[in-house]
Structure 1
Amino acid sequence: MLKESSSGRIFKNPILEKLTRTHISAPLIVFGGISFYLLYAAIAVKGLSFIITVMLFVSGWLLYSLIEYMMHRYLFHMEESTPVRKRLVYTFHGVHHQHPRDKDRLAMPIPVSLALSAILFFAFQFVIGDYVYAFLPGILIGYASYLWVHYMVHTFQPPKKGIFKIWWIHHGIHHYKQPERAFGVSSPLWDMIFRTMPDR
């Protein structure tokens, strides 16, 4: 049986394997900085009102939480019916389930997440114009909050009470008891809506 503190391997190539590892502070700093700049540009450069900026930011955060839930449920835990699917599931998420305390595999590599962020920026800019400057930070901070919560629940013992204890129990049930439930990490909102809250 694998030890929880052990580390899996995704690629045989040592360079590619190194690129799969990301210290948790890197994306938090990068996406925090990008979000701050975009929010500043939304108000100071693009002239969006404070209220509109807040509403767009919250909308982006909610959209991220839904994306997080859907990807975790339907992509990361899809049926491994073919060798390709099995490989994809292991690469995206299976290695994390086998080695849940590997601190360097709790975030996407920075180049990948930056590329996805750039694609999202231009896609949303095409659809909603300058509102993207307030909307995208909600998505990015949503991702950063997911990373923070995910890191905390996998690396720290929770206090006896409080929101962190709730997150810790919720995600622990997903890992160790009911992997077909509790797909929300940063929030149980969509588990409640789609009725995938764990049985306790």
Structure 2
Amino acid sequence: MCNKVMGGGSEGRAITLVEGGEETPNKPMYRKSEIKARVDRGEALVMFDGGVYDIEPYMTSHPGGKEVLTEFLGEDVSEAFRGLGAGYHEHSKVAMKQLGKMLIGYVEDGAPHHHAESAGREDQSVTFEVDREKGVVLQVWKLGSQYDKWVHTPDLGTDPLRFFDNPVLELFSKTRWWVIPLVWLPVAFAAISSAVVHSETSLLAALQFATLGAFLWTSIEYTLHRFVFHSVPTGPMAITMHFLMHGCHHKRPMDRLRLVFPPAAALPIVVTLGGLIRAALPHHVALCVTSGALVGYVCYDMGHYYLHYGKNHVGTYLGAMKTSHMAHHYKDHSVSFGITSPLWDHVFGTLPKPNAQSTVQT
């Protein structure tokens, strides 16, 4: 139940909302005409369950793209947010929590408003608080058993997390998307060229072996993502390494400077996998397979960047992959491990399940 105490005035009219015995701060009341006028002046306001929200901070980080939100500015998004109606999907509890942080007031004569501010409150069960003004990498281990819940409570925003206090380390922890093809495609080209030039391997055979390598990459990608990156770490070193390798991405999914793998961090994985391939196959075949796997990896990282920042083309393959990956981040992180392809999710039954209970912490 919520009790409303209103003062006089229009936009200056305030409301006190009592939820669960706690009184929330006063917030103003707005007429719908006032909301429309503010939107016309360039503000990003929407209405939801009788509340008024300024979603400007979320416009650029919305997983479905800014364009999707633009058409709803000044409107009531209650039904669309719950997936009621053709073309809409039900949003997660994480999305509800993020929306709650953007509450600025209430609609005059609007629907009763029960949950917005309480949804936006910080989780009080995490006793150690990470100081975001300092480098977080050397703090996360202190979370201990609370780390898994903390890291799977996604942050709103696109600004990079501060990893290190040292500015040089901080600089090298960030990677632009174009660095990946710039570094790894020449290596892939050199490997397959060496196989063709220094052996009797034909170009056609080399390309066939490379295709096998690209297919092999999809299984490597799935295995690493599911069984390594989504293992639950214990101990300070394991927690710190997990955060560096993948946890940071789940904590702030729209941090565009940490969406792709830094080459320095990827190098040990590439060397290890390349060594295993060379141990299992003849040298010239191994070079071609490694080349294809590297191209597959580049497609993985570029595809991953697109899934977060590319336009959502509904009804297309990429649109379906984007929807599936957003479900992985914001609804259930125990599904949708494939980035390049959903093949292995099909094989092992880890596709998103309709109406499944969320495993993402709120």
Could you tell me the TM-score, scaled by structure 1's length?
0.89
Q: What is the RMSD computed on CA atoms of the aligned residues?
A: 2.0
The residue identity in structure 1 corresponding to 2:225 is: H
Kept in 2, the 8 Å contact 1:20–1:108? The answer is no
Q: 1:88 to 1:114 in 2, by over 3 A?
A: closer
Partner of 1:117: 270
Work out which of the residue numbers 305, 324, 340 in structure 2 matches 1:186.
340
**Could you list the per-position Cα deviations for residues 72-112 of structure 1 after superposition, in whole angstroms to 9, with x for gaps in the alignment?**
11111112343333322222111111211111112222233
Kept in 2, the 8 Å contact 1:65–1:186? The answer is yes
Q: Distance in 2 between matches of 1:160 and 1:126?
A: 44
Q: Distance in 2 between matches of 1:152 and 1:53?
A: 29
Cα offset, 1:138, TM superposition: 1.2
Q: Distance in 2 between matches of 1:74 and 1:122?
A: 21
Alignment of 1:8-87 (within 5 A): 8-87=161-240
In terms of mean alpha carbon deviation, does 114-123 or 93-102 score higher? 114-123
Alignment of 1:91-130 (within 5 A): 91-128=244-281, 129-130=283-284
Q: Distance in 2 between matches of 1:10 and 1:56?
A: 40
Cα offset, 1:9, TM superposition: 2.8
Q: Secondary structure at the match of 2:334?
A: coil
Confirm whether residue 172 of structure 1 aligns to residue 172 of structure 2.
Answer: no
Partner of 1:132: 286
Kept in 1, the 8 Å contact 2:260–2:304? The answer is no
Q: 1:66 to 1:14 in 2, by over 3 A?
A: same
Uncovered stretches (5+) of structure 2, i.e. residues with no partner: 1-97, 99-154, 355-362
Cα offset, 1:185, TM superposition: 0.9
The residue identity in structure 2 corresponding to 1:40 is: S
Q: 1:116 to 1:88 in 2, by over 3 A?
A: closer
Q: 1:113 to 1:81 in 2, by over 3 A?
A: closer
Uncovered stretches (5+) of structure 1, i.e. residues with no partner: none
Cα offset, 1:119, TM superposition: 4.6
Cα offset, 1:126, TM superposition: 4.2
In terms of mean alpha carbon deviation, does 43-52 or 186-195 score higher? 43-52
Q: Distance in 2 between matches of 1:118 and 1:158?
A: 35
Q: Secondary structure at the match of 2:213?
A: helix
Partner of 1:143: 297
Could you tell me the TM-score, scaled by structure 2's length?
0.51
**Could you list the per-position Cα deviations for residues 146-190 of structure 1 after superposition, in whole angstroms to 9, with x for gaps in the alignment?**
011100011122123312101101111101111111011111111
Partner of 1:159: 313
Structure with the greater alpha carbon radius of gyration: 2
Q: 1:197 to 1:25 in 2, by over 3 A?
A: same
Q: Distance in 1 between matches of 2:331 and 2:216?
A: 28
Q: Secondary structure at the match of 1:197?
A: coil
Question: Which structure carries more helix by proportion?
Answer: 1
Kept in 2, the 8 Å contact 1:8–1:98? The answer is no
In terms of mean alpha carbon deviation, does 166-175 or 6-15 score higher? 6-15
Q: Which runs of 4+ in 1 moved over 6 A?
A: none
The residue identity in structure 1 corresponding to 2:185 is: G
Q: Secondary structure at the match of 1:134?
A: helix
Question: Which structure carries more strand by proportion?
Answer: 2
Kept in 1, the 8 Å contact 2:161–2:252? The answer is yes
Q: Distance in 1 between matches of 2:251 and 2:271?
A: 31
Aligned residues: 200
